A = this chain, B = another copy of it.
Amino acid sequence: MPAKIQPEHHNASSAGTMPGNRARNKLLREQQLLQLAQNILQQDGFAGLTMDRLTAASEVSKGTIYNHFCSKEDLITALSVDSLQRQLLLFHQVLALPGHSRERALALHYAYYRFSTAEPTLFLCLLSATTAAVVEKTSATRLAQRQALEQQLLSCCEQVINQAIADKALQLQAGRGIDQLTYLQWALAFGANALYGPSQQMGFFQGLEQQQLMLAGINLLLDGLDWTPLSGQFDYQQSWRRIAAALPQTQAAQ
């Protein structure tokens, strides 16, 4: 198959001298459409999300919707981009909190956890958006958007690790890079959230109190890295609660 390129559906940025009115409206409507799509998704799940249904819910026609999203998959990716933006916002919020480097790492874990539980639907969206079937039918610009956001999220993580090294709270062993540390932590966070989280994935771990467990896992990992202060010397439960309290509370995702 000769890798059919998805049409671009000229977004705001392109043709230079638009009087600006059109472009603004277009962006606005795109936001509205995404919001409608999310409502449908939360109400009736993935199976319920239909282009015709979205058309009915909106005030425009199907053709117009296809002017914004070149396929249903492109819409999914657009939702995932939206999710990543929220996630990044959370990251920035918790990074603005005071605390030493390891507390900030913990804060990122908390933000990730918070997002996955507060917005289980969007978390699922992020997963599906990485599927080959979806990627293949997504426009190049949107894929680029997602990649850029992923990069920014990673930057947040690396920034914390760099701070830890600068503060001498953490020492990199030979052959172990910042990217590896990021990877391991991300894997643990992702796995823990995905396994427990939305739509009772992997139904077998249900009775456990996830927050305590995640904190324990993070502590094991970071203690293993000798990231000071170690969990024996510091009350990270307290930190966790403080971070939780500092974030604008959501209505406890069910």
Contacts and interface: CB of A to CB of B under 8 A. Distances in A.
B220 A225 contact: yes
| Prevailing SS type, chain A contact patch | helix
A176 interface: yes
Interface string A205-249: 101100001001101110111000000000000000000000000
Nearest to A48: B133
Q: How many copies of the chain does the oligomer comprise?
A: 2
A220 B220 contact: yes
A35 interface: no
Given A219-B224, A220-B224, A45 B183 contact: no
B184 A213 contact: yes
Contacts of A133: 45-47
A109 to B, nearest CB: 12
Given A133-B45, A180-B213, A216-B180, A147 B187 contact: no
A216 B223 CA distance: 13
A186 B151 CA distance: 27
Contacts of A203: 130, 147, 150
A199 interface: yes
A47 B73 CA distance: 12
B179 A47 contact: no
Contacts of A189: 191
Contacts of A187: 188, 191-192, 195, 217
